[in-house]
Amino acid sequence: MGSLRVKPLEPPGKEIMEFRLSDEVLQFKESVKEFAKNEIRPSAEERDLSGEWDWNLWKKMGAMGLLGLSVPEEFGGSGANCLMTSVAHEAFAEGSADGGLTLALGAHAIIGTMPIALLGTDFQKKKYLPKLATGEYTSGLGLTEPGSGSDAAGSMETRAVKKGDKYIINGSKMYITNGPIGDLFVVMAVTDKSKGPMGISVFIVEKNFPGFKVGKKLKKMGMRTSQTSELIFEDMEVPEENRIERENSGFARVGRATLEWERTVLVAASIGSMQFMIDEGVKYAKQRLQFGEPIIRFQAIQDKIARSKMKLDASRLLIYKSATKKDLGLSAPIESSIAKLYCTEAANEIAYDMGQIHGGYCYIHEYPIERAYRDARLGTIGGGTSEIMRSIIAANT
């Protein structure tokens, strides 16, 4: 695809006091949206019903360059910055109307790949990034456990014990997106219990490592087009060379770098979903006749559309701000947390309001708003709950 290290934002001009994406970024955004609309959306309803994974679509996404968008060019990616990657995920979500596949993309390209791209050794980058960029390898992140979610670091039970030139890992990870289909996972495990959250290390785990097992595929309320399962480690052997960063530095270094990308780029997909839901609501409101006229002429309906549009625009600005700060090389714990909190809650509110516009049809599977309504629910839970985001924001204010 060529280099995507472009200047993300144009400064305000003398005549128009407005920040806007450059023409190059806008053209790229449109190309991703059209690809997703033409290649992904037509089968979204069927795949949501069946819960089946489509490798053919995944290969097309790899050929499009989406799977390795933020991987450095020297390792087969496009070298896109955080803003460009966020725009791509926004466009993919809008065009595909497929929250599950968008989630699978984010789990692979961001939380499963960026820890290696950002903090991996030269050996790790050369070995794994080229295959991750093309989609030859599919990845994910192993952080949450059956008994630990919001307190992921403090309650972590998965243990890694060093023996010679290997680590022996025992434990399990829960709700792992791409679990049933993944080739490798970035896994966090406790290496020094006495140090609490500062005693966690991070490892690159391949599915063929001795002791690695995939639990049963989980049946979910939404995001059904993505594959989710538990990962089980029983005396799993991991080479020392597969540890990312120093021992016991995992949560402080890898966790922070990964989660800020997650709370920016993955959440950017909610913007695309919001845009799609609003477009569907407006289209339906223009077609639906009640009391002799289209319901879009009713003030109650206009209120839902107006409030949804305001939330969409505010969400987009928050995501772009967080991404731009990351591209400047700055930490963005507050910005990414605010964006994650506001955008995911706004997506749920918009799903509800656009559902109300559809009336009974929002409860019928053939209408995409029904799928979007279910998919939106995960946003305020995964990647840090809304309650945790509020705690982070308050602690850093």
Q: Which residues are catalytic?
A: 262
> At 123, which helix (H) or strand (E)?
helix 122-134
Separation CA 128–CA 241 (nearest Å): 13
Can you tell me whether residue 359 is helix, strand or coil?
helix
CA-nearest of 155, 323, 166 to 251 is 155
CA distance linking residue 54 with residue 97, whole number of Å: 16
Of 117, 128, 101, nearest to 40 (Cα)? Answer: 101
Q: Which two tokens stand for residue 263?
A: 């709370």
Among residues 140, 75, 129, 83, which one has the least CA distance to residue 106? 140
Q: Which phi and psi (to 5°) does residue 274 adopt?
A: -60, -45
Q: Name 164's Cβ contacts closer than 8 Å, sequence gap at least 6.
A: none
Question: Cα–chain-centroid distance for residue 188?
Answer: 18
* Residue 199: closest CA among 143, 236, 246: 246
Residue 7's identity, in one-letter code, is K
**Contact between residue 15 and residue 91 where contact means Cβ atoms under 8 Å apart:** no
293 strand-pairing partners: 290
Quick one: how far is CA 218 from the chain centroid? 18
Strand-pairing partners, residue 160, are 169
Report the C-alpha gap between 39 and 43 in whole angstroms.
8
Token couple for 179:
């679990």
**Please, are residues 236 and 169 in contact by the beta-carbon 8 Å criterion?**
yes
Roughly what angle, to the nearest 10 degrees, separates helices 368-376 and 267-287? 150
